[in-house]
Structure 1
Amino acid sequence: MIKKLWLLAAIVILAFIANCSLEGKKLTPPVAKIVSKADTLFGDIRVDNYSWLRDKADSSVINFIKAENSYTQEKTAHLKGLEDKLYNEMVGRIKETDTTAAQQINGYFYYSRTLKGQQYPVYCRKKGSQTSPEEIMLDLNAMKQEYINWGGLKVSPDQRYLAYSIDTSGSEQFTIRIKDLQSGTILPDLIGPAGSDVEWGNDNSTLFYETLDETLRPYQLYRHILGATADSLLYQENDAAYYLGISKTKSKKYIIMDLGSNTTNELWYLDADKPDGKFQIVMPRTHEVQYYLDHHGDKFYIMTNENAKNYKIMDVETSNPARANWK
């Protein structure tokens, strides 16, 4: 019995020593320095001791993040075996080599595929039929970046250009590039920092995109002409509760700017055939009223919760979509 107790004690001591080896000097957590900054908002003084961490280009911020990463890696090093086991179990449930269903657009079949061992998808298309030779539009793996967050990928109406937005830093601020799918070259146009959304005008040379404020809220809408060095600011949303978004109707006839909060929104529209025109408002924002629209023929079809908790469908002529004309 005594031998068993000694054996148990030895095991406990060895486990304690092993644990201590993991808790050495290197495992002392980094401590962020305090740099007080006072701001006055609505008459109240607010002090932020860590606002200096917002400056991503500051070497002290970069070094602190590296120290945090090193601490985390060393602190969890003993879990590496479990980490690998969980990873392999999860990957084993995923079909790593796979292809999405193709979407037919203007004579092309568009799809993406993933390959085992590669982290990012490959975006492809085939002309005419799904048995035609594959054309790789964008292979994110070929970019050789440690990190990629891809946002919007939009092909121009004539199917020649691919506009895409990517973030390679993790900042959630995107750079928009344009690829000539005929020649395979990347155009010199460099747009950013920007939001992830991008839409084409129907002239195949005009792009609409968002920019972000310091809180990463999409709040400005810009227009870019291929080859131009300066872009035009079309709208700025100053209410911090509202986020700006852009999209295109399924008919591809109209570009929609959506200004939305959690409970309220406001839509503006632009004829995509006239991308140099001005956006027109559909209905001004009304407290706790949300509405969304799409287009077909000579009408906008609107889904709204105005006096309808579970929403209702209405329509209106595109020639005069003011609220008074909804039916």
Structure 2
Amino acid sequence: MQAPKAKKIPQLLETHGHQRIDNYYWMRERENPDVIAYLNAENSYLKETLKSTEEFQEQLFQEIKGRIKEDDQSVPYLKSGYYWYVKYETGAEYPLYCRKKGSLDAPEEVFLNVNQLAEGKAFYQVGGTAATSDLSTLAFAADEVGRRIFTIHFKNLITGEILKDQIPEITGNFAWAADHQTLFYSKQHPETLRSYQICAHRLGTDVAEDLLVYEEKDEEFSCIIHKTKSERFLLIHSESSISSEIRFLEADQPKGDFQLLQERIPHLEYAVDHFEDHFWIRTNHLAQNFKLVKAPVHSPNLDNWEDVIPHREHVLLEDFDIFANFLVTQERSNGLCKINVTPWDGTAAHTIEFDDETYTAWISTNPEFDTDYLRFGYNSLVTPSSTYDYHMVTQEKVLLKQQEIIGGYDSGAYTSARIWAKASDGTMVPISLVYKIDLFKADGQNPLLLYSYGSYGFSTEAYFSSSRLSLLDRGFVFAIAHIRGGEDLGRNWYESGKMLNKRNTFTDYISCAEHLIAEKYTSAPHLYGMGGSAGGLLMGAVMNMRPEIFNGLIAAVPFVDVVTTMLDESIPLTTGEFQEWGNPKDKVYYEYMLSYSPYDNVEPKDYPHLLITSGLHDSQVQYWEPTKWVAKLREMKTDANLLFLHTNMEAGHGGASGRFNSLKELALEYTFLLYLEKMI
């Protein structure tokens, strides 16, 4: 079957006196039948070319699915006299939201069955859920397209009745006032999808009568509504990439006016919780790696901020949780997570000990103040996801649940390690890796998948994946490059990989790839890269820079048309991204972004084998970016390597909905890798 060939309609784009010709600009026309025909043709081409692997794809899907415990549930947590949890039943794609009153031995109440709600729908996803404090009414948000545009529905938890009230076209973010009748929620702009308004709805009233409480007029900011752990305050949190501003209101005064906590200042970021007479604030004020301060509720502005945990140069404060007798902090040091417990009574603080060389740990759901137990989560590249209760006095850890791998899993058959690669400027970059011991040979012939992200300060955690076993058990090494642009080694690690430092992200990844080859973990004919969204940008940039060191790349929902997208303020995310990438209306940023934008730097040369995925309803990376990129690559590349575009015509940025449907897309990705390694 011949690869699809897209028609070319030259579009002149001129900025700062510089001209670009985009032959595939027309693909932005979502309703154009030619666009849909091209996407379908690409899907058909992939299906036909890999037709011989269809049986294997199904077997691989069943293999991956077969490791997952179908009748599973989360660990219940106690709140408001009930134990709350989510569970799945055998054969079901969607969760059941459940609770038990007073005791885990009490009868189970299923208060939301998403399988019933999703019946007959190609896509269905429940976003936020929240019950009133008297537990009379549940609000839940549902997306039926995959574009992250939700409708809020209401259910009477006493009678089980679904109420007539509906709030359409909202973000899925909301919080109840203490009157059990008023729901505050955030709305997105109809064109840009920026979350820019906070409204209040009173049960039983027409949505048209909903009150606009706050509007965020700065296009670089978005806003959300949430409650403090104490549930005493509602908070409107406005935020850009470099600045925060929070307003607060007593939750029992829903008709009152929100008060400003601290006005926005460029480069001042902060987040707030409440305990007793103070707001507790994580902030970067004079603290690049963040610190913890407190301020009196009656006067919480910056002038009254008092340090609780001062800034530390080599320790990033990521999160905190407050209990009646303890302060708990989640920190990152030398790229690894630490959880520290500090008693209020002045006795010595301590750190929870973990055994793995590279791992992930996090503060979990802890809605109760008056308890000596901390709920936290833990996993590593070889340790399945685990939930613990930790007694903060005796320092005893109790494993409540560890992800069960159906068919068995022997962690001793695998090993993980943390190694360091020297970047082009001398910076040492950590790499986490895992492989099956008896299949690994230090001869450079192991197939290796190098995953990374490297943007927005998101740290790429060393996490366990039961799906990944399908690669490890076939001899693959899996590695994570903790490159700059993430926050893996502190805030400076992020600052060194954004804006006019963005190229560090790409060169770090290349250095990691070269180090893995030099140390004979793999070699160029067996090295594969993978990243999604901004990680897809990473894949596009590195394959333009060093295509010869990769045999294949997977770019999922990739952000690749950087300059054109960032010049278009009408599409989602653009204005809010200026502090991440820069504003190309400034010539300095335009030229810098143009130097690495994957779409703009496609040229006649050999590229690796490529699998590129997309979602027609993607609200974050518009479908036309990967589509245009593939069309241009088909036109210009000089090799005969595989180039596939797979577009999910019924989903968005997160792929297919449901518990198992997304695994079919993963099976396709793994099949692509195994096909290239001639393992099929």
Give the structure-1-normalised TM-score: 0.82
State how far apart, in whole Å, the 1-side matches of 2:247 and 2:42 are. Answer: 45
**How far apart are 1:52 and its partner, in Å?**
2.3
Amino acid at match of 2:186: E
- Choose from 149, 163, 170 the match for 1:173: 149
Q: How many residues align?
A: 298
1:119 aligns with 2:93: yes
Amino acid at match of 2:235: I
Q: Deviations over 1:89-116 (max 9, x none)?
A: 2223322221111121211111111123
Contact 2:281 2:294 in 1 (8 A): yes
**How far apart are 1:187 and its partner, in Å?**
0.6
What does residue range 146-161 of structure 1 map to in structure 2 within 5 Å?
146-161=122-137
State how far apart, in whole Å, the 2-side matches of 1:259 and 1:105 are. Answer: 28
- Greater shift, 68-77 or 98-107, is seen at 68-77
What corresponds to 2:109 in structure 1? 135
> Please, which runs of 5 or more residues in structure 1 have no aligned partner?
1-22
- Greater shift, 87-96 or 255-264, is seen at 87-96
Q: Deviations over 1:97-137 (max 9, x none)?
A: 21111121211111111123211111001112111111111
Amino acid at match of 1:160: S
State how far apart, in whole Å, the 2-side matches of 1:271 and 1:75 are. Answer: 61
1:320 aligns with 2:296: no
Contact 1:255 1:271 in 2 (8 A): yes
**How far apart are 1:184 and its partner, in Å?**
0.9
User: Do the aligned partners of residues 89 and 154 (structure 1) sit closer, same or farther apart at CA in structure 2, a change above 3 Å counting?
Assistant: same
State how far apart, in whole Å, the 1-side matches of 2:48 and 2:158 are. Answer: 49
**How far apart are 1:321 and its partner, in Å?**
1.4
What does residue range 1-327 of structure 1 map to in structure 2 within 5 Å?
23=1, 29=4, 31=6, 48-53=25-30, 69-70=43-44, 72-143=46-117, 144=119, 145-213=121-189, 214-229=191-206, 230=208, 231-327=210-306
State how far apart, in whole Å, the 1-side matches of 2:44 and 2:164 are. Answer: 38
Contact 1:237 1:244 in 2 (8 A): yes
User: Do the aligned partners of residues 129 and 207 (structure 1) sit closer, same or farther apart at CA in structure 2, a change above 3 Å counting?
Assistant: same
Contact 2:4 2:38 in 1 (8 A): no
Amino acid at match of 1:247: H
Amino acid at match of 2:301: A
Q: Relative contact order, CA 8 A, sep 6+: which one is greater?
A: 2
Amino acid at match of 2:245: E
Contact 1:30 1:68 in 2 (8 A): no
Contact 2:3 2:42 in 1 (8 A): no
- Greater shift, 262-271 or 194-203, is seen at 262-271
SS of residue matched to 2:164:
coil
User: Do the aligned partners of residues 128 and 68 (structure 1) sit closer, same or farther apart at CA in structure 2, a change above 3 Å counting?
Assistant: same
State how far apart, in whole Å, the 2-side matches of 1:68 and 1:172 are. Answer: 25
- Greater shift, 165-174 or 59-68, is seen at 59-68
What corresponds to 1:6 in structure 2? none
Whichever of the two has the greater Rg, that structure is 1
What corresponds to 2:654 in structure 1? none
**How far apart are 1:179 and its partner, in Å?**
0.6
User: Do the aligned partners of residues 275 and 33 (structure 1) sit closer, same or farther apart at CA in structure 2, a change above 3 Å counting?
Assistant: farther
Q: Deviations over 1:251-297 (max 9, x none)?
A: 01111111112222111111111111121111111111111111011
Amino acid at match of 1:167: D
State how far apart, in whole Å, the 1-side matches of 2:107 and 2:10 are. Answer: 60
Amino acid at match of 1:203: D
**How far apart are 1:212 and its partner, in Å?**
1.3
**How far apart are 1:75 and its partner, in Å?**
4.6
- Greater shift, 233-242 or 283-292, is seen at 233-242
Q: Deviations over 1:137-162 (max 9, x none)?
A: 11111121221122101111111111
State how far apart, in whole Å, the 2-side matches of 1:221 and 1:141 are. Answer: 30
State how far apart, in whole Å, the 2-side matches of 1:241 and 1:215 are. Answer: 12
State how far apart, in whole Å, the 1-side matches of 2:285 and 2:114 are. Answer: 43
State how far apart, in whole Å, the 2-side matches of 1:43 and 1:107 are. Answer: 66
> Please, which runs of 5 or more residues in structure 2 have no aligned partner?
307-680
- Greater shift, 79-88 or 300-309, is seen at 79-88
State how far apart, in whole Å, the 2-side matches of 1:164 and 1:44 are. Answer: 49
What corresponds to 1:12 in structure 2? none
Q: Deviations over 1:46-69 (max 9, x none)?
A: 98533322x6xx777666655655
Quick one: percent identity of the two aligned structures? 36
User: Do the aligned partners of residues 180 and 45 (structure 1) sit closer, same or farther apart at CA in structure 2, a change above 3 Å counting?
Assistant: farther
State how far apart, in whole Å, the 1-side matches of 2:58 and 2:259 are. Answer: 55
Amino acid at match of 2:233: Y
